Amino acid sequence: MTLPHARYIVLAHEGVWKINLDNKYYGPFPTQAEAVESARGTAQKAADAGYPASVLLMQGTQFETLWTSVGE
């Protein structure tokens, strides 16, 4: 059985930085760097548990992959 891909999306939302996972928001974080650090730590735990995981930065309508366990 294939586990679902956990995508942690870091984005500015309502004037603060948040993490979106499965259409739920987590945070707020005072800086983008702190949101990315939190998302990466959580994504690493998901990857360690066997889930494919990625951290994405959303800028407008574009996504930048900051970290991924896929292909490792």
Predicted pLDDT at 3: 82
CA distances from 46 to 11, 49, 57, 66, 67 (A): 20, 5, 18, 16, 13
Distance CA 30, CA 17 (A): 7
Contacts of 19 (CB under 8 A, 6+ apart): 8, 9, 10, 25, 26, 27, 29, 35, 38, 39, 42
pLDDT tens-digit readout, 5-41? 999 999 998 899 999 999 999 999 999 999 999 999 9
